[in-house]
Amino acid sequence: MSRHLFTIEKIVIPVRKHKIKLLVLKPLDKRDEPATGVLWIHGGGYQSGSAKDVFATRALSLVVKFGAVLIAPDYRLSKKHPYPGALHDCYAALLYVKEHAEALGIRPDQIMVGGESAGGGMAVALCMLARDRKEVNIAFQMPIYPMLDDRDTDSSRDNHAPNWNTKRNHKAWKRYLREAYGTDLVPIYAAPARCTDYSGLPPCYTYVGDIEPFYQETVDYVENLRKAGIEAEADVYPNWFHAYDILLPAKKVSREAIHRFEEHFAYAREFYFAPQNEAESQENTE
C-alpha cells in the first residue's frame, strides 16, 4: 500500500450551549471516490487526553496508508464535566460527520467509529446511542481495549498491572459517573457493559491484553455481539498490560497487532456499509 500525506484542519462545532473542536485529517492524495470516514475518540479514562493524541495511535495509519478521513473530537473531560458531557460532545461530532459527509470528502454509507481505552468505550456507547436514536448509521466499530464496565470484573478486580490498574480504574469511573457510581442507575451509554440487547449494532474488531483490567469486559462484549448475530472478533495478546502497543510500538508483537488491526480495517472498508436514512430522531434516551 502506498503512503499518503495528509492535511490537518480544525473545525469548531456547537454542542448545546457550548462548542468543541474537531481535528480533521484528510489524505493529501485525493481519490476519485469519497473516502471512508472514521470518528476516532481519544482515551484517558474520560479525565485526560486530547484530540491530538491521535498522532500516537492506531488511527493515524488509517489516513496515511488507506486514505481515510479521520475526525477526532476534543470532548469535555470528567474533571469538570462528568457524564453525559463527553457523550453529548462525541455524539454531536458523529452527527456532524454524517451531515457534512460531502464537504469532508466522506462517503455517507461508510462512517466508522473507534478509539482506545475510554475512547473505545465511548465508541461502543455511540454505536448503542446511534442504534437507539436512529439518526445516523455506523458501518463498523473498532473499540481497542475499551473501558466498558464501571463494575469490577474478573480482570479489573484486584489488578496491579502496569499503566492501568484497579485503583486508577475506580478513580476514573467515580469521576465520570459521580453520584451514580456504585449504583444501578448507570445507563448503558455511560457503561456499555450494562447493555442487555446487543442486536442492531455494527460489526466489530478489537484487541486486548490478557493481564490488563479491561480484558474481561472486552471479550464479554465481543461474545455478546456474536450471540446477537453480529460479526465480531477480538485478538487477545498474552502478558500485555494496558496500551502496550502504544507504549511499546517497536515490539514484534505490537507490530503484529498493528498489522492485524489494519487488515481488519481493510476488510471493513471493502465489505461493511451502512446507508443513511432520513428517519426522525427519537427523544433523548440518556
Residues 84-134 pLDDT 10s: 999 999 999 999 999 999 999 999 999 999 999 999 999 999 999 999 999
What average pLDDT does range 186-192 have in this prediction?
Answer: 98
What average pLDDT does range 136-148 have in this prediction?
Answer: 98
With a pLDDT cut of 70, the percent of the chain lying above it is 94
**What's the fold here for domain 6-271?**
Rossmann fold (3.40.50)
With a pLDDT cut of 90, the percent of the chain lying above it is 92
pLDDT, residue 242, reads: 98
pLDDT, residue 282, reads: 42
For the chain, give the number of residues: 286
Q: Mean pLDDT score of the chain, rounded to an integer? A: 94
Sheet architecture: strand order including 69-73: 6-15, 18-27, 69-73, 35-41, 106-116, 140-144, 204-209, 232-237
In DSSP terms, 218 is beta-bridged to: none
DSSP 47: T
Q: Which residues contact 273 (CB under 8 A, 6 or more apart)?
A: 109, 110, 139
Q: Where are the beta strands (DSSP E) in 165-227?
A: 204-209
Between CA 81 and CA 233 the distance in angstroms is 33
pLDDT tens digits, one per residue of 3-44: 558 999 999 999 999 999 999 999 987 765 799 999 999 999
List the domain boundaries for the chain.
6-271
pLDDT, residue 31, reads: 66
pLDDT, residue 32, reads: 59
